[in-house]
């Protein structure tokens, strides 16, 4: 992809030097993830310890009626308060604000955004980190739409919608990445802060805007093929008015850049 090979105009020496040991903050927003949370935390811990990666998880929990908070607290007592941090909010305030609040608590110099519903497998995190280090990328995005990647558990309609959504966006926005609406990504902390500070959109458009703006600012992006598996436990928080909102969002971005 062209964006991957483009070099940045301004290289910040601090971010590529080794004076700070790399630490990865995983922001995990949860809403009714009682069944999934213990498994995803176990997998994260297993994959990252195995690869000697220094990390913390910030669970951003929005007072889920299913009692996810109590599960999070139990996990915190098992894995330790330095590994599992909990940000408990009074009610469902949306993914965007969950990321924003999570970033405020982050002590790592890298941030990983992922879902807690097991759609994003933590085994890909070491691959993200490896690719980042090899090429000194600012961002790594998981992609379902490159050889090796894929989607499991979606019906034909859902797959088609996602494909078409990506296609429309790529035609209008030429972002240089193959999966615009995915949300499993690794960001340099200051890069994510910068991108969020200019963000204007919500929902799936937010994930897309991050890539489009990253190109605008000449940040470098690498792609790792991932398999996305639809959730088994719980229900999606996606609402049905999303498609119209998405198309509007693409057009707004198109006229904005
Ligand atoms: N804290 C918080 N987490 C949320 C909210 N909405 C969704 N999530 C979490 O965000 C992730 C993705 O949500 P999901 O419903 O699976 O979206 P989908 O995969 O696009 O259908 C999951 O870990 C959810 O638990 C919210 O309003 N607040
Ligand atoms: C991005 O901006 C929109 C519109 O102001 C906001 O609703 C959303 O929460 C923001 N997302 C993040 C991650 O900051
Ligand atoms: C990004 O790179 C292009 C081409 O090299 C340059 O014209 C542009 O000014 C750069 N933008 C930023 C924000 O550095
Ligand atoms: Mg999901």
pTM (2 d.p.):
0.90
Specify the DSSP element, H or E, that contains 5: helix 2-5
The number of residues making up the chain comes to: 257
Nearest CA to ligand 3 atom 9: 9
pLDDT digits over 71-128, tens only?
A: 999 999 999 999 999 999 999 999 989 999 999 999 999 999 999 999 999 999 999 9
Residue 12 is predicted with a pLDDT of: 45
Distance from the CA of 101 to the center of ligand 3, in angstroms? 30
C-beta of 202 in contact with ligand 2 (< 6 A): yes
Distance from the CA of 235 to the center of ligand 4, in angstroms? 8
Pocket test for ligand 3, best of 218, 219, 257 (most atoms within 8 A of CB): 218
Q: Which two tokens stand for residue 177?
A: 């990445």
Q: Which two tokens stand for residue 183?
A: 């949300």
- Coil, strand, or helix at residue 84? strand
Domains of the chain: residue spans and CATH? 22-256 (3.90.550.10)
CA distances to 138, 177, 257 from 190, in Å: 9, 21, 21
Of 246, 214, 201, residue with least CA distance to 95: 201
Pocket test for ligand 1, best of 26, 27, 28, 31 (most atoms within 8 A of CB): 31
Distance from the CA of 23 to the center of ligand 3, in angstroms? 29
Q: Nearest 5°: phi and psi at 35? A: -75, -35
């Amino acid at each position: 992809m062209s964006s991957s090979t483009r070099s940045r105009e301004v290289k910040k020496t601090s971010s590529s030097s080794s004076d700070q040991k790399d630490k990865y903050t995983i922001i995990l927003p949860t809403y009714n993830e009682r069944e999934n949370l213990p498994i995803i935390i176990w997998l994260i811990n297993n994959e990252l310890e195995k690869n000697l990666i220094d990390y913390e998880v910030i669970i951003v929990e929005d007072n889920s009626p299913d009692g996810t908070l109590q599960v999070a607290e139990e996990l915190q007592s098992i894995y330790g308060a330095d590994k599992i941090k909990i940000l408990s909010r009074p009610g469902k305030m949306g993914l965007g604000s969950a990321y924003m609040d999570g970033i405020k608590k982050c002590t790592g110099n890298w941030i990983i955004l992922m879902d807690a519903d097991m759609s994003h497998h933590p085994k890909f995190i070491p691959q993200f980190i490896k690719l980042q280090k090899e090429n000194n990328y600012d961002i790594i995005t998981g992609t379902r739409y490159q050889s090796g990647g894929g989607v499991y558990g979606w019906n034909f309609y859902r797959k088609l919608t996602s494909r078409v959504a990506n296609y429309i966006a790529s035609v209008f926005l030429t972002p240089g990445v193959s999966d615009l609406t995915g949300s499993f990504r690794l960001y340099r902390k200051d890069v994510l802060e910068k991108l969020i500070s200019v963000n204007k959109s919500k929902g799936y458009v937010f994930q897309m805007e991050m890539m489009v703006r990253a190109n605008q600012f000449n940040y470098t992006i690498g792609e790792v093929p991932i398999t996305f598996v639809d959730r088994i436990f719980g229900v999606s928080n996606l609402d049905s008015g999303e498609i119209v909102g998405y198309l509007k969002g693409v057009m707004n971005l198109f006229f904005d850049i």
